[in-house]
Amino acid sequence: MKRFSNYLALQFKRTAKTFIMVLAVTLILLTAAGAVGITVAASQNSGEFSKKVTVGIIGDDDDPLLDLGFSLLEQMESVKLIIGFVHYPDESSALRDLRASKIDSYALLPENFSDSLISGDNYSIHYVMPKIGTGINEVLTREILGVISNYVVETQAGVTAMIDYAGEQGLSSEKMNVLNLDMSLAYTNLIARRDSIAEITEIGFVSSLSAAGYFLSGFSIFFLLLWGVCSCTYMASSNCFLPKLLYSRGYKSLLQIICEYLPYLAAAFLMLIIVLGGAAVISGFVDFNIPELYYLLPRDYFIMAFKLIPVLFIITSFQFLLYELASGIINALMLQLIMAVLLGYAGGCFYPIYFFPETVQRLADFLPAGIAFNYFSGILTESLRTRDVAFALGGGVVFLALSAAQRQFKIKGREDQQ
């Protein structure tokens, strides 16, 4: 126990001597990243992230029913918020704008289209959209097409069934026309009723987060991943002489790892408190415009720091493992930076994870960045799961165990070489 306390105290002193320098580098990095975040937030507030789906329409300009139909659609609040229509005289003009990304798709209506709807004929609409695309506009367009297709199929089936039933009952043509008109009006009221086509609800990018909340989560996790880069000056080691000397005097590999890791975790926690403390002070003067932070008091930011200890645990333990795997400050710096970018990307820090293939989505739940992102978003939305806590703590223990195994391998490997 005495050996443990002596070596632990020595490591804390070593960490304290370099903490101010590391903190300065961290704050510089945070300031630069914060400037990027403010730019993104400003773009979002200006409406750059609130684009409507723009659909080109090519049809008979002399058809009054067609003009009336689109005029009604463009005036509906539930439609005009998500769809914009642009009329084209011919398909070549629409295709040119589609290739220039001025519109998201276009629909080519056949001649006498409105007459075909009245008569019950099946005239197909030729709908054209980019073949490759997984952005929000493409996803939204496919959802809208599904809604329209359901309306057309169901209403046409209803009209046809009514006509067949009326014919079987021997109703006169005048009575059938009245029933047809009543059913058409009922369908029109169903479609034209406000908010019947779509309910505008912001469900967020990931885990019910708002857009701003998502950017906050991704930025925070990536910032913690870069903490390994900032700490490179005192964490990287160029040789195994000291660990081997300590091992020969009874300091086992696991004891060395724990004594060296705890000061590293404490420094990361102190850094987090300083950053969140600064955010708490700034929140009293500036509105962050992040829905998940609306009701946070200054003291809640400090409480959040303690809630984020499992996140710090898994990220810093993984960084510690990388330091054990790398030899030399240059190799350690490059490894930390590359892994921070790769994990940040695969973990959903830069781009919503549901745009990735299903295999990558499943893998992200077991990566340090993905686990940390799920945990952090759970805190923001007050929906933290026991699974996220278990993965964060369990992952940290696994990484520390691997670090101890790697330390043992390096010590024994050097002994065998000698």
- Of 192, 218, 245, the one marking the end of a domain is 192
Neighbour tally for 142: CB within 10 Å: 12
Residue 371, domain member (yes or no): yes
Domain of residue 228 covers: 2-46+205-417
Q: Quick one: 212 and 338 in the same domain?
A: yes
Q: Quick one: 136 and 179 in the same domain?
A: yes
Enumerate residue ranges in the chain where pLDDT < 70: 1, 33-52, 60-66, 68-70, 72-82, 113-123, 131-156, 187-207, 236-239, 414-418
Q: Quick one: 19 and 77 in the same domain?
A: no
**Per-residue tokens: 5:** 């306390």
Per-residue pLDDT tens for 260-289?
999 999 999 999 999 898 888 888 787 777
Strand-pairing partners, residue 83, are 53
The total of structural domains in the chain comes to 2
| Res 182: pLDDT | 79
Q: Enumerate residues 6+ apart whose C-beta is below 8 A from 85.
A: 54, 55, 56, 57, 70, 73, 74
Q: Quick one: 286 and 308 in the same domain?
A: yes
Q: Quick one: 270 and 326 in the same domain?
A: yes
Tell me the C-alpha distance between 376 and 373, whole Å. 5
Q: Which pTM value belongs to this model?
A: 0.64
- Of 192, 222, 247, the one marking the end of a domain is 192
Residue 380, domain member (yes or no): yes
Residue 92, domain member (yes or no): yes
**Per-residue tokens: 202:** 């912001």
Place of tokens 């420094």: 267
| Res 48: pLDDT | 44
Q: Quick one: 41 and 63 in the same domain?
A: no
Tell me the C-alpha distance between 245 and 34, whole Å. 44
| Res 400: pLDDT | 95
| Res 38: pLDDT | 60
Tell me the C-alpha distance between 199 and 202, whole Å. 10
Q: Quick one: 158 and 216 in the same domain?
A: no
Neighbour tally for 127: CB within 10 Å: 15
CATH number at residue 131: 3.40.1710
Q: Quick one: 74 and 37 in the same domain?
A: no
| Res 145: pLDDT | 63
Q: Which long-range contacts (CB under 8 A, 24 or more apart) does 184-189 make?
A: 184/159, 187/155, 187/158
Residue 35, domain member (yes or no): yes
**Backbone phi, then psi, for 194, in 5-degree steps?**
-60, 130
Residue 80, domain member (yes or no): yes
Residue 353, domain member (yes or no): yes
Q: How far is CA 370 from CA 9, 282, 347, 403, in A?
A: 33, 28, 4, 21
Residue 12, domain member (yes or no): yes
Q: Quick one: 400 and 292 in the same domain?
A: yes
- Of 192, 223, 248, the one marking the end of a domain is 192
Tell me the C-alpha distance between 214 and 167, whole Å. 58
List the Cα angle 46/47/51 in 5-degree steps: 160
Q: Quick one: 175 and 266 in the same domain?
A: no
Q: Quick one: 222 and 317 in the same domain?
A: yes
| Res 46: pLDDT | 47
Residue 199, domain member (yes or no): no
Q: Quick one: 132 and 240 in the same domain?
A: no
Q: How far is CA 84 from CA 64, 93, 113, 151, 197, in A?
A: 20, 17, 21, 19, 15
